[in-house]
Amino acid sequence: MSLNKKDQCGTGNPIDDCWHCNPNWRNDPQILADCAIGFGHDALGGKGGRIYYVTDPSDNDPVNPAPGTLRYGVIQSEPLWILFSGNMVINLKYELLVSSFKTIDGRGPRVEITGKGCVILDSVSNVIIHNIHIHHCKPSGNAKIRTSPVQISERGQSDGDGISVYASSKIWIDHCSLSYCTDGLIDVTRGSTAVTISNSFFSHHEKVMLLGHSDDFTADSGMQVTVAFNHFGEDLVERMPRCRHGYFHVVNNDYTQWGMYAVGGSAAPIINSQGNRYIAPQNGNNKEVTKRMDTDESEWRRWNWRSEGDLMVNGAFFVPSGVELSPQFTEATSMAPFAANVIEQLTMNVGVTGLPSAFILL
C-alpha cells in the first residue's frame, strides 16, 4: 500500500484508522477515546464531558487562572474534552497539573506547550494527551498552584520533564512531539500503571523516557506500560525507554540510531520487545540495543527480556535474558504486534499531525 503522508485514513495503524476513517470525527472529537490500544486502552479522558475551548494562550496567574486558558480547563473537577480555538504557543510559568477525566486534544490547530514545569499528572486517572508539541521544558521553582476549583497546593521544584506521570493510571499519550527538555521527555513513576505511549515523535534529547522511579521503589513492580508505534528520531542518546520493576511492552516502534543504547533497565523489569525496527548508529561500540544498569551479569541473566520479530539494521543486536517462554511475558503483552517490515507504514504519521481543518465549533 502506498500512501502519502497527508492521507491519514487507511494507513493500517489501528489507532489512526479507528478515528480518522470515521466520517463523523470532525463533528465528534470524542470518538478518539474509543481508539486507545495497549495497557492504557481504558483511558477515558474527558469522554462524555462537555467541550472546553482554549481561547487564551496566556499563563499569567497559576493561583487564579483565567477562563479560556488551558490551566483553567485542566483543573476543573468535571470531565472535559479540551480543544483549541487556533494555533497557539503556551509558555507555562509553572508546572501544569492536569486533573482526572481530561483530554487535551490538539487536533486541527498547531499547539505548543513550553516553559517551566510543563505537564504533570499527579495521582490522577483517565487522562488523554493528543497531538501536542511539547518542547524546551525547564524546571520550575517552589510555587502555589491551583489544582482544583477549591484547592491551592504548595509545589516544590520540578525536574523539567516534558510530561511527568506520578502515581496515576489509565493514561494515554498519543501523537505528541517531544524534544529539548531539561530532564526526561516522558517519565512514568511512583506506582503509575495502565499507560500507553503511542504514535509520538521523540528527538534532540539525552534521557528520553523513564518508566519506574528507582531501584528501591518496589511499588512500581506492578507497573504496565505500552510503548507502541513511536519514532525515536535524531539526536537521542538513551532511555527509549529505561525500565525498572514492572512489565513493559515495546512494540512496533522505529528507532533511528541512538547515542548509547535504546532499551535498558534495572531492578529486574520484564521487557517484551516485538516487531520493532532497530537501526544502530554508525559507532561500532554502540550497536547493542539493550543495556542493564548497575547489575552483575550473573543477576541480569535471570531477568526476562526478549526480542521477538524485531528487525535489526546496521549491525544492531538485542541481548535477551531469562526464560524465553516465561509466563511473565503474558503480563508484558498488551496487543498483537504487526510485522516489523511494515514499520514505515505504521509510523508514517507519528508526532503532531497537520490536519486539513479544525473541528466544527461545538
Active site residues: 239
Which residues, 6 or more positions from 48, have their beta carbon under 8 angstroms from its beta carbon? 30, 79
Which residues, 6 or more positions from 354, have their beta carbon under 8 angstroms from its beta carbon? 6, 110
Amino acid (1-letter code) at residue 227? V
Q: Are 221 and 189 in contact (CB under 8 A)?
A: no
Which residues, 6 or more positions from 349, have their beta carbon under 8 angstroms from its beta carbon? 5, 8, 11, 13, 16, 175, 199
Surface-to-core class of residue 41, CB atoms within 10 Å of its CB (0-12 exposed, 13-18 middle, 19+ buried): middle
Question: What's the grid cell of residue 238?
Answer: 538513551
Question: What's the grid cell of residue 30?
Answer: 470524542
User: 165-184 as b/e, with b when 16 or more CB fall inside 10 Å?
Assistant: bbbbbbbbbbbbbbbbbbbb
Phi, psi of 230 (to 5 degrees): -95, 160
Q: Determine the Cα–Cα distance for residues 302 and 246; give it in Å rounded to an integer.
A: 15
Evaluate the CA torsion angle 195, 129, 44, 6 in order and state its sign.
negative
Q: Determine the Cα–Cα distance for residues 187 and 161; give it in Å rounded to an integer.
A: 7
Task: Give kind and range of the element (H or E) at residue 20.
Answer: helix 14-20
Q: Say how far residue 219 (Cα) sits from the centre of its chain.
A: 21
Residue 152's alpha-carbon distances to 49, 68, 95, in angstroms, are 24, 19, 13
